[in-house]
Structure 1
Amino acid sequence: MFDIGGGEVGVLRIILTIIFIIDCIALTALVLMQEGKQQGLASLGGGMTETYWSKNKGRSMEGAVVKVTKALAIGFIVLAIILNLNF
């Protein structure tokens, strides 16, 4: 009925597509969870607002969300390139 591809390559493409869809949904959710970068606009006026929170942001939950978002974005790009190859 549907010709998805030849044998193992077709199965691999389906598995990669499912992983790609999960990656897209997770990436969208994490981007929406992140806080805005309001402090960036304050630095344009010369204001230096270093707080304890901003210095230790990488160790907090916000820092973990940023790291996971970067990893998912890299995975998104890699999977998009792989799925667009004609194999």
Structure 2
Amino acid sequence: MMIINVHLHGPWRDYSEQAVMAIEMDDGAQISTLRKRLLAEVQKQHSAFNPELMSVSAFAVDESLVTEQFILSNGMSVHILPPVNGG
């Protein structure tokens, strides 16, 4: 097992009292698995959560966007980034 530190940005901050959530994952888990796990955690705590926010959010590690297949490692910091509006 490993712990992934998920940093919440924008509207994601509405779904946690903390800016960073510690999520326990199986070793070798990918971003796609983290996405599903985080979605389940938020929906469990907030029944009014719109899952579309998850589907349009990106994940970043070390200031770079990562793909769904990116393999996580213990203690890694991952940022979940909602879409940005403006011009």
Answer whether TM exceeds 0.5 for this pair: no
Q: What TM-score range do you get, normalising by the shorter chain?
A: under 0.3
TM-score with structure 1 length normalisation?
0.23
Going by fraction, where is helix more abundant, 1 or 2?
1
TM-score with structure 2 length normalisation?
0.23
Going by fraction, where is strand more abundant, 1 or 2?
2
Larger radius of gyration: 1
